[in-house]
Structures are given as C-alpha cells and as structure tokens.
Structure 1
C-alpha cells in the first residue's frame, strides 16, 4: 500500500470512527446509566486522533513538507487539534457532556474534508513560493492549534448556554478556584432553610436562576446565598453548568496565548516575506478581530468578574469569528493570503 492509498483509507476511517463516537456520546447523554459508554466515547476520540496523526505523518513523508499548506491538510490538522484538546478537556472535567458537542463538529469537519472536497484538492502539490519557509510550521501550526483550542472552549460555552437555557444564571466567585470541581463544596438550599457555614470552608460558585418572575429563584451555594423562593433547578444541571463554565474558561485561557504567539510569528514571517509586519490583509484583520473577541472575554472574566451567561455568549460569538478568520476570508475575499483560496 503506497502513502497516497494509506491517506485515502485513514481519512475515511477517521470519519467512520468519529461518526460512531458521536452516536456513543449522544446515546450516553440520553441514557446516562448505560455502563462503559463514556469510556467508549473517549476511546473513539483517541482512535480518531491517532488516525488523523497517522494521515498527517503519511502526507508529510509523501510531500516532503509539513502538511498544512492547503485546505485538505489544514482541515485534518484542525481535526487532530480538536480531538487533542477534547481529550484534555474531558480529562479535566471528567464529564461525558464534552463529547456531545465536540464530536459532531469534529465529525462534520472530517466529512467535509474526506467526502466533499474534490480529489484534486485532496492531492498534495508543490509549495507555492510564499510557503517555502520554516515559518510555515512555526506560524501556521500554532495558529491552527489556537483555532482548535478556542473552538473547543467556545463549544463548551455554547453547551453551557444550552444547559442553562430559559434561566438567568449568574455565578459568584472564582471559576478558576479548586472549588469549581468539588461537588462536596456545594449543596442546594431550599426556601427558608438556614445557611450552614459548615457546608464548606472554601469559596464556592453560586447560581441564581431567575425566570423573570414566573419561575422563581434557585441558588446553589455554600455560604451567604440569598433565599430560594420556589421551584429549583436540579443539582445535576447546576453541577453540569459549573463544570462547563469552568472548563470553557480554562480552555480559552490556553488558546488565547497560542493565538497571540501565532499572530506574532505571522507578523515576523510577513516582514521577512513581504517587507511589512502588518498589511491589513483580510486574514490579518480577522485574526486581530478574533484576538480582540477572546481578549474581551478574558478581560471580562478576570477584571470585570463576569461569569455565567454573559461571557458564555461572548465566547459563543468567538466560535463564529474563528470560522470566519480560518475559512470565511478565504472564501469571500482576496489578499496576501490568496493562496488559501479554493475557488
């Protein structure tokens, strides 16, 4: 079997594995008492990660350069990044819910690359002159990893919005603190119940759910919570919201420095190739917009103390901005990055 045939088999295997993995995560979410499904989902994502890595390695050996120069290669590099960050996020959260939203997105990207792109776009080709540089690996790979990381963080923020839909959720306290993952630090206090200061000696997240006067208020807190008045959200749903909010924040906090490093490396490469650090090329402009969106998210979390739905909405909008930066400008506009076009 030659390397080209191996690549064709690996991209189809990656799609099939991710499709089955997506179904496993969804079934596990619908029927949480079925044993082994979380482990099978994690195993499926790990197998897809290895298949994608093998595909990229075979491509590298065949073409003789780092495989990230065209749409097909970059999409599979993005899939590899998404599955890698998924495994990190799932290990941090110990929650099966991470895969319910990351698996379908990853599967969709794989399907688009393996089944939709024409054969001539999937074939490797000699590098254009602008890409014959060591900066290809240093800049583009870091940017793609930052996209993957920010996408996972944004997807978890979207999952948070779905989990808390119909409720006005406000979190009080640090979502970075160790209390965010310790269920023993929380309890659900019903209306009229006195606060027991012995529940926890650590800061805890507090959730206040307001249904605009119709659904009452629910509070999950350890010390100093307001009085709950009527119908309560389930402790499981509140715990899930806490986990999603916390992991989303941490993952975006990892992706933002990668994006910053990638933009700086790109500016240095641009100066070397074109004689200017910044040319307001559409790709550069949207990379800056992406940076500003997630900088605003982190600023709101760290400096302004925003938590809950408001920063989650900002992160969710960042998911769209990342896709515009990564793919949209290549479809809708020309510029110095025009070699990324496929029309």
Structure 2
C-alpha cells in the first residue's frame, strides 16, 4: 500500500473504533442500568448501631454479619440480559481497542515515524491508552461499571480528534524528528490514559450518593482512582524529566518556562499534592477526590488547552 492508502485506512479504523466504542457504551449502560443494586452506606451504619444481646457469641473479625433487627432492603435479582449486555460490552470494547490500535499502527506506517507528532495523533493515542487502562484493570478486578463512561470518553475524544484536530499524514517539524518522541511522549500518553481513568472514577465518586446505587461504594471508587494515580504518577514524572532532557538536546536548555513545560509541572505538583495528602494527612473521601479532579483539570488543560490557545515551542496542534 502507498502512504496515502495507509493514511486512509488509518482514518477508517478511527471511525470503526468510534462506532464500536459507542455500541459498547450502550451495552455497558444497559448492564449498569438493570444490573445489581448495591446497598448504601446508611444500611451499614444502621447495622453497626444495632445493640448485641448479652451473652451472644461475637462474630469473627471482619465478618460481614448484620443483626437480625437490622433492616436490609431486598434487591431483586437482575435480569439475565443485563449480564449478557455487560459481556457484550467487554467484547465490543476489545474489538474497538483493536481498531484503535490498528489506526495508530497504520498511521505510523503511513508517515514512517512514531505516530504522535501532532494533536490529532496524540489524542488518538490517549484514547487508546485510556481504554487499555480500563481493559487491563478489568482483567484483575470487575470494573464494568466504568465501561460506559470510559467508552463515551474515548468515543468523544476520537470524534474530536477527527473533526477538530485532524491533520493530514505527513512529516513533523524538525524539533520532533528525534528518538526522544518514543520516550517522552509515550510515557506521557500512558500516564494520561491512567489519569483519565482516575478522573472518570473521581467524577462518579461525586455523583454517587450514600443510598442504594448500581455504582460501587464510594470507598471502592476512591480505591480505583487512587491505584490508577499511583501507577501513573511515576510515569508522568519520567515524562517531565525526559522532556527536559529532550529540550536540552533540541534547544540547548533544560527549562525555558515554555507554557507546556509550566503546565506539565503544575499538573505534576497537583497530583503530588493529592498523593501527599493521602499518604501523610490521611485525606480521603470528598476532599481527596476534589484535589485529584483539580489535578485532572490541569492535565486536560495541559494536553489540549495549552496546545490550542497558547503559543509556544510546543504548539504542534496544527489546528486552524
């Protein structure tokens, strides 16, 4: 195939990935809407306040036993089609993931370089990283409740890339023609995918109330977000350091207060503040979630806003 044909095939794979992610989103939404209802925190608190009869045998440590007088609302068994829809959503998500990967590979073959040299390619890669983070997490833990939200995020991201950020396949500016793009940008993409997963989970934490819900408990949501950030933060740190080394090679200085450099550091500080607050001050719950969502906002502005609205040495968005 010629470079033009490969570029066209890459664009078609992007469209296929969008459609597959959308259908997967509908399947995941069906599973969430009709699936199992989880009890709220109020039930556990009420059970904990129930008196225990004198002389009664104490339950073993860690046992999830409610006193007979505790009132636990009965939840109907979810219909079978909900579980089928959840499984179908996972299958469609994996097929969409393959289409997303194929779009990246064929784009790279078309341009004969690492395929994240402009805003279009970068956003396509971040969507792939976010879906990858979800699917890999699903292998170890049941996080299908995140499926619909991750799928819609990826579909919107790919749609935005195709309609707003699209750049025809071609060479990159000389500053990007370096092996450092495989080191610095790859680390930033993987970290951004994990942090996107954490951001989506944080938003769900704020949405979920204390009553019965089809979403997991707030504690479980917070745990998923925290683990994603713990994995992503060292990668983002490495990306910032690798960017400084690349800047020294390209422009003869490690740090020049370029807007992209400044906002990458601001994002690093925001996530460092979140992890520090969790580890030392024992922050948890709503306060910690708000801090991580502020950090997520810094990440989004750094990835998109800086490239579009602020001129600098990193202005490679190629958006008219």
TM-score w.r.t. structure 1 length?
0.75
Query: Which residue of structure 2 lines up, in the alignment, with residue 174 of structure 1?
Result: none
Q: Which has the higher strand share?
A: 1
* Structure 1 residues 308 and 65: alpha-carbon distance in aligned structure 2, compared to 1, 3 A threshold: same
Query: Which residue of structure 1 lines up, in the alignment, with residue 306 of structure 2?
Result: 329
Are 1:6 and 2:9 counterparts? yes
Query: Which residue of structure 2 lines up, in the alignment, with residue 250 of structure 1?
Result: 227
Query: Which residue of structure 1 lines up, in the alignment, with residue 123 of structure 2?
Result: 75
* Superposed structure 1 runs of 4+ greater than 4 Å apart: 236-239
* Structure 1 residues 240 and 91: alpha-carbon distance in aligned structure 2, compared to 1, 3 A threshold: farther
Counterpart of 1:275 (choices 246, 249, 252) is: 252
Are 1:86 and 2:86 counterparts? no
Are 1:52 and 2:100 counterparts? yes
Cα displacement (A) at 1:142: 0.9
Query: Which residue of structure 1 lines up, in the alignment, with residue 45 of structure 2?
Result: none
Residues 75-224 of structure 1: matches in 2 within 5 Å?
Answer: 75-114=123-162, 116-117=163-164, 121-164=166-209
Give, in whole Å, the separation in 2 of the partners of 1:329 and 1:239: 35
Larger relative CO (CA 8 A, sep 6+): 1 or 2? 2
Paired residue secondary structure (1:303): helix
Residues 26-45 of structure 1: matches in 2 within 5 Å?
Answer: 26-32=29-35, 33=78, 34-45=82-93
The count of aligned residue pairs is: 272
* Structure 1 residues 239 and 151: alpha-carbon distance in aligned structure 2, compared to 1, 3 A threshold: closer
Give, in whole Å, the separation in 2 of the partners of 1:246 and 1:25: 21
Give, in whole Å, the separation in 1 of the partners of 2:140 and 2:246: 35
Q: Runs of 5+ in structure 1 lacking a partner? A: 168-232
> Contact 2:127 / 2:157 at 8 angstroms: preserved in 1?
yes
Give, in whole Å, the separation in 2 of the partners of 1:255 and 1:311: 17
Paired residue secondary structure (2:190): helix
Cα displacement (A) at 1:237: 6.6
Query: Which residue of structure 2 lines up, in the alignment, with residue 288 of structure 1?
Result: 265
Paired residue secondary structure (2:281): coil
Cα displacement (A) at 1:23: 1.1
Give, in whole Å, the separation in 2 of the partners of 1:134 and 1:332: 27
1:106-129 deviations in whole A, cap 9, x for unaligned?
A: 110011123x137xx431111211
* Structure 1 residues 126 and 101: alpha-carbon distance in aligned structure 2, compared to 1, 3 A threshold: same
> Contact 1:11 / 1:52 at 8 angstroms: preserved in 2?
yes
Give, in whole Å, the separation in 1 of the partners of 2:292 and 2:139: 21
Paired residue secondary structure (1:60): helix
> Contact 2:10 / 2:103 at 8 angstroms: preserved in 1?
yes
Q: Runs of 5+ in structure 2 lacking a partner? A: 36-77
Paired residue secondary structure (1:35): helix
Give, in whole Å, the separation in 1 of the partners of 2:6 and 2:158: 19
Residues 311-326 of structure 1: matches in 2 within 5 Å?
Answer: 311-326=288-303
Give, in whole Å, the separation in 2 of the partners of 1:61 and 1:238: 42
1:261-280 deviations in whole A, cap 9, x for unaligned?
A: 00000000001111111111
Give, in whole Å, the separation in 2 of the partners of 1:7 and 1:237: 37
Paired residue secondary structure (1:292): helix
Residues 232-247 of structure 1: matches in 2 within 5 Å?
Answer: 233-234=211-212, 239-247=216-224
Give, in whole Å, the separation in 2 of the partners of 1:140 and 1:238: 34
> Contact 1:93 / 1:247 at 8 angstroms: preserved in 2?
no
Question: What RMSD in Å do the two structures reach over aligned CA positions?
Answer: 1.7
Paired residue secondary structure (2:143): coil
> Contact 2:27 / 2:88 at 8 angstroms: preserved in 1?
yes
Cα displacement (A) at 1:257: 0.6
1:161-199 deviations in whole A, cap 9, x for unaligned?
A: 1113xx5xxxxxxxxxxxxxxxxxxxxxxxxxxxxxxxx
